[in-house]
Amino acid sequence: MRRSLCAIAVVLAAFSARTLVHAQRPGGAQLSSARDMAPIDLTGYWVSYVTENWRYRMVTPAKGEYRRIPVSPAAVPIINAWDPSADTQAGNQCKSYGVGAIMNVPGRLHITWQDADTLRIDADAGTQTRLFRFSARASSAAKPTWQGESTARWERIAAPDEGGSLRVVTSNMRAGYLRKNGVPYSERATVSEHFDVSPLPDGGQLLLVTTIVEDPVYLNAPYITSPHFKKEPDGSKWDPTPCSSTW
């Protein structure tokens, strides 16, 4: 009897050890950085493929148009008062390239690891840089910036090598425009994003960014878009351009 119980204990202990190892990381390796833990590879060059919202993204819409954006009454006077010249004179020509809009601005992204725990996204449109920090620093009292402070976390699918997604939350940004023609978001807005990668039938890859902008000041409801990007083999078409208030 004693021998049987001991045998059971040994088997359970072995199973427990195996389970615990698996719980740490698939494959058993001790991984410590966000780069090591990445369930999907986002790095490389990606180009906007503008098949949606063409009229709002590829050209500057007419002043006063905010169709498809759930703006609050407080936003309407600002929309109707949009003055791109005044923005330029005030040095605010990057207002439509802020984190609330940048993924919808047609252009290219270059995604790299700045360090083991910081994913960097450069956008050639407006020459903007976003930093996704997986190791959150103590909330800074830094001045708000166009791209704000982004904290990221991987979401891994339970099955080994089954991929996953990247979740990013951004706050502490400067007030900006959701659209080139002055549809505003405030400094109190937060932007939540989910980055997913999907294979294309021709062997290519597509990056899908589900973007949720919530703003208690200028939006009545979350503004949700899902711009997508095709992967490019290299950076030969990378073409940084400065911000523009009008284009």
Best CA proximity match to 194, nearest among 146, 129, 150? 150
Give 163 or 217: the residue with its C-beta nearer to another protein.
Answer: 163
| The one segment of 92-100, 140-148, 157-165 that binds another protein by CB under 8 A | 157-165
Give kind and range of the element (H or E) at residue 85.
helix 84-89
Q: Is the Cα dihedral 152, 157, 161, 162 positive or negative?
A: negative
Interaction of residue 141 with another protein, rule CB under 8 A: no
| The one segment of 86-94, 95-103, 140-148, 153-161 that binds another protein by CB under 8 A | 153-161
Query: Among residue numbers 211 through 230, which ones bind another protein (CB under 8 A)?
Result: 212, 223-228
Give 108 or 174: the residue with its C-beta nearer to another protein.
Answer: 108
| The one segment of 87-95, 140-148, 198-206 that binds another protein by CB under 8 A | 198-206
Asked if residues 57 and 68 have their Cβ atoms less than 8 Å apart, the reply is: no
Interaction of residue 154 with another protein, rule CB under 8 A: yes
**Binds another protein (CB under 8 A): choice among 96, 128, 147, 181:** 181
CA dist 199 → 38, 70, 119, 196 (Å): 17, 32, 22, 10
Asked if residues 184 and 156 have their Cβ atoms less than 8 Å apart, the reply is: no
Query: Among residue numbers 38 through 97, which ones bind another protein (CB under 8 A)?
Result: 39-40, 47-56, 58-70, 79-80
Give 33 or 127: the residue with its C-beta nearer to another protein.
Answer: 33
Which distant-in-sequence residues (6+ apart) come within 8 Å of 139 by Cβ? Answer: none
